[in-house]
Amino acid sequence: MEKVKSFIISTRQVWEAYKCVKANRGGAGIDNQSIVDFEEDITNNLYKIWNRMSSGSYFPPPVARIEIPKGDGRMRPLGIPTVGDRVAQMVVKHLHYVFDHWMQRIYSYVPFERYADDAVCHCRTELLAKQLKADLESRFGECGLELHPEKTKIVYCKDEDRKGDYPVMKFDFLGYTFRPRLSRNRRGKFFENFTPAISNKAAKAIRQKVRSWNWQLRPGDTLEDLAIECNPIVQG
């Protein structure tokens, strides 16, 4: 059994995170946007952070790289996130306390992965998954948060050894859909396996991005020009 969760992030959390970032001050990131610049459209800027984190579509932008002197006279590189990303990081730090530390303390025997506000917990039984779900709802309530009512679900990982049927047997995580699929072993025999592949949502986003380049309207560009443009995106 897998326990899949997406946490509900309130606008209040984002606002409190911004106040912490403002108090810490700090310079502009790669977008050259200072805290003063950020405040010029603060409502829209904070809404975009909240909306992307709540929908699971938030990805941190690159950091600005600068060099600062060390005590021995040499220089060392330092990465400066954008103001918006520092806000998102403060929200995630709260989730680290609410979820990660609690899981390690109370459910240390349950492996889990979390990226921003999406998480997957690996439970050996349905009974354990249901108990964990109930305990997490209580934990989040105590911390002023709640689990997403639609995205929080118990998933049965059907494969060659788990042949039961349950209402939910697939989930999306980090751009992949995990579900039962046919796989082939080293002897060429097919068997049912619970494996990931690119999700429909991620594939659609990639197709839209590629179309936006409009390469068919740029006959003067060389293959090298096109490679320079797309390589950073393809490489991640």
Q: Residue by residue, what is the 3-state secondary structure of 143-159?
A: CCCEECCCCCEEECCCC
- Residue 36 has a pLDDT of 92
Greatest mean pLDDT among 58-72, 88-102, 149-163, 213-227: 149-163
154 pLDDT more than 70: yes
pLDDT tier, 25 (very low <50, low <70, confident <90, very high otherwise): confident
Rounded mean pLDDT of the chain? 87
Exposure pattern of 11-48 as b/e (b: 16+ CB <10 Å)? eebbeebbeebbeeeeebbeeebebeebeeeeeebbee
207 pLDDT more than 80: yes
3 pLDDT more than 70: no
Q: What is the pTM of this model?
A: 0.69
143 pLDDT more than 90: no
Average pLDDT, integer, range 88-106: 89
Q: Among the listed ranges 12-16, 75-79, 175-179, which one has the minimum average pLDDT value?
A: 75-79
Average pLDDT, integer, range 2-21: 77
Greatest mean pLDDT among 1-5, 120-124, 147-151: 120-124
37 pLDDT more than 80: yes
Residue showing tokens 């405040």: 39
pLDDT tier, 67 (very low <50, low <70, confident <90, very high otherwise): confident
- Residue 45 has a pLDDT of 92
- Residue 92 has a pLDDT of 82
195 pLDDT more than 80: yes
Within 10 A of 81 (CB to CB), how many other CB atoms are there? 19
Query: How do residues 161-193 score in pLDDT, each as one tens digit?
Result: 999 999 999 999 988 999 999 999 999 999 999
